[in-house]
Copies of this chain bind each other. A is one copy, B any other.
Amino acid sequence: MRVVPVVLAGGRGERFWPLSRRRRPKQLLPLLSERSMLADTLARLDGLAAPGDAWVITARDLVDGVRAALPGLPDDHLVGEPQGKNTAPAIALACHWLKPLGDDVVAVVLPSDHRIEPTAVFRAEVEAAARLSLERRAIVTFGIPPTRPETGYGYIEVGTPLPGGAGAHAVAAFREKPDLATAEGYFRDGKHLWNAGMFVFPPAVMLEELQAHAPEIAALLPALPDAPGAGREASLERFYRDAPSISIDYAVMERSRHAVVVRAGFVWDDLGSWAALATPGSADPEGNIARGPVLLHESRDVIAFADGGLIATIGVENVIVVRAGDVTLVCARDRAQEVRAIVERLKKGSTEEHGFL
């Protein structure tokens, strides 16, 4: 078995502004360690996947940033999408280039900007899912047992158990982000798991399912060169121009009889905002979380992130303070989701203000 990570790294991550910027989105930031979340994502599979086997699909204008974050990634394995078309076209593309590698290959599609702990549990479960996918010709996805009625995530409705499937189930449905009442129902009924956007499958199986359920994407693949490399840019341009914008969840997973969901044993979090940096054990006895040069004087429940320069606080509580480049953000801790509102205001603002994006 040869596990090949396929990392989807095209997001914009505006809610980590001002650390995240137009050309330096969340996945390129060192939010959870000293290296980028993207590098963390690949490092999590150390020992299971060879680093040189990994693929990264990102936005074209982020290619340089990704290359800097992953110096070991072969150039051919770094795809810059000329336009974003959601996950199905990107996954189809990867399968097209992975299939010739042989029948023992298992692709592991991973978002690049989530938190997953502990690493050892994750790696073991990915390995088990990869074996399951080979044995059953399955497309395996991880469902995360919800810990709260979260309205910010999509859900997977668990179907019938797989015979002899070690806890694996068929997928009954994918559910978009629910309203609160619906989320509370999902949380109680025990049949819904968070959709973490991770998929494990042999490329040949995914290609068959694309052929069956998303033929308008599959039909574009033969026009691509058989192997990535020089000269592929023009064909990528056409592929992304013509491909429909659709997620793999709806294009394939919800329609495929090969879709399987496994209840995850690891902790997962999409790290949706600065406030999400606070996790059990991450704070000091005063409830403070500090990264970089930070001086907290009689302050409590502060999240401070200094990227260059010093942050000093006196007598404040429940705030997020981020100093990054030419911007300082001070945000009430329960309003971290509204960082996007500031980013939107800047986008609409004067040319001068645009400099801060």
Chain A interface residues (CB < 8 Å from chain B): 18, 293, 295, 297-298, 306, 308-316, 319, 321, 323, 325-332, 334-336, 338-339, 341-342, 345-346, 352-353, 356
- A319, B330: Cβ atoms closer than 8 Å: yes
Across-interface contacts of A306 in B (CB, < 8 A): 328
6 residue pairs bridging A and B, Cβ less than 8 Å apart: A298-B338, A308-B326, A310-B356, A312-B329, A313-B329, A319-B319
Interchain CB contact under 8 A, A297 and B345? yes
B295-A314 in contact (CB<8A): no
CB proximity of A128 to chain B, nearest CB, Å: 43
Select from chain B the residue with minimum beta-carbon distance to A311: B328
Q: Work out how many copies of this chain go into the complex.
A: 2
> SS class of chain A's interface: helix, strand, loop or mixed?
mixed
- Nearest residue (CB) in B for A339 is B314
Given A295-B342, A297-B342, A345-B295, the answer on whether A18 and B329 have CB atoms closer than 8 Å is no
Contact status of A312 and B326, CB under 8 A, knowing A295-B342, A342-B297: no
A343–chain B nearest beta-carbon distance, Å: 9
Q: List 18 other contacts, CB 8 Å, given A309-B328, A314-B342.
A: A293-B353, A297-B345, A298-B335, A309-B325, A309-B326, A309-B327, A310-B327, A310-B328, A312-B342, A313-B329, A314-B329, A314-B332, A314-B336, A315-B335, A316-B331, A319-B330, A321-B330, A330-B330
Question: What is the distance, in angstroms, from A268's C-beta to the closest C-beta of chain B?
Answer: 27
A325: nearest chain-B partner, CB-CB: B309
Determine the residue in chain B with the shortest Cβ distance to A313. Answer: B330
Given contacts A297-B341, A338-B297, contact A330 B312 (CB under 8 A): yes
Task: Please judge, given known A-B contacts A323-B328, A328-B323, whether A338 and B310 are in contact too, CB under 8 Å.
Answer: no
Within the complex, which residue of B312, B325, B334 is in contact with A18, where a contact is CB–CB below 8 Å?
Answer: B312
Residue of B nearest to A308 (CB): B326
A314: which B residues are within 8 A, CB to CB? 329-332, 335-336, 338-339, 341-342
